[in-house]
Each structure stands twice: as C-alpha cells, then as structure tokens.
Amino acid sequence: MTDIQPLSLHTETVREAWIDYNGHMNVAYYVLTFDNATDAFFDHIGLDAGYRARTNCTTFAVEGHITYDREVKLGDPLRFTTQLLGFDQKRIHFFHCMYHADEGYLASTTELMSLHVDAVARKTTPLHADIMENLAALWETHKQIPRPPQVGRSLSLTGKRAS
C-alpha cells in the first residue's frame, strides 16, 4: 500500500450566488470551482501567468467529464485534490476530486484533458522543456496512485429503453 496521495492545492467556500432553486450549488459553479482547482494545479507545474507571458503559450480545455456525487450547500467548505493521469508533448490528462472539507465526503469529480496551445497561432504546440520536466517528476509519484473509478466513464442508457 502506498502513502502517496494526489495533490491538495485548492480550497473554496460555496458562495450565495452559486446556490440554485434547489437550495444547493448549481452545476455551473462546479465547473467554475474545478477550473479554479485547475489554475492552482497549472501554477504548481509552472503553467502560470509568468509562463504565459514569457512563452505566449497557454492551455485550452478539450474534454471533460463531471460526476455529481453529493450536494454541497451555502457556506460549505470545499477541498480539492488533483491527480495527474498522464501527459505527452501537447496534452495533460488529470483528475480533480471535490470534498466537503469538514465532513470529508466526496461531493464531485472531474476528469479533464487540456491542450498546450500557442496563444498567437491558436494551434497546439509542444510543452516547453521545464514543464515537461515538472510533469515527469510529478508522474513518478502519481503513476503509483490507483486510477479513480470515475476515470474513462461514458454516458449511456443500458438495458431496456422507455418508449
């Protein structure tokens, strides 16, 4: 058994503006909070504002999948973890978990794929060597963490369909 864990880089509190007519956080704000966790992850690996200014490169989200496991409500503290699932010269595949920070339950997950992009040409371009080195170092530990069961899931109806 390993004691290696995903990164814990981001926390937030559910705000009043994020609450919908059901009395819990609206789905749009799950995307927002995961995006904030992504920013923290990218800062951690060196894809920060300085990198963007120095290289004219950035990242674009290309695909994502969210699970909504348990609701969160106004004022709930949130804690996010991030696991690197893989990478190559132009792509970063990663996974966030959102937990209720006090009660500890899993509230939501997202699996994301981001592309490294030349912001001027608006085309994919290889990650710079320093970022590749940072990702490789992180991968050395994260490859030992079991893949979450939500990774690679797809949506479908199975069995009989209603008429």
List, in order of start, the domains of the chain with CATH numbers.
Answer: 7-142 (3.10.129.10)
Q: Give the residue-averaged pLDDT of 124-131.
A: 98
pLDDT in tens, 89-123: 999 999 999 999 999 999 999 999 999 999 999 99
Residue 131: CB atoms within 10 Å: 20
Q: Give the residue-averaged pLDDT of 26-48.
A: 98
Q: Is the pLDDT of residue 35 over 90?
A: yes
Q: Which comes out higher in pLDDT, residue 1 or 130?
A: 130
DSSP 128: P
- Reported as a pLDDT band with limits 50, 70 and 90, residue 154 is confident
Q: What does the alpha-carbon distance between residue 106 and residue 79 come to, in Å, rounded to a whole number?
A: 10
pLDDT at 44: 97
Q: What residue type is 161 in one-letter code?
A: R
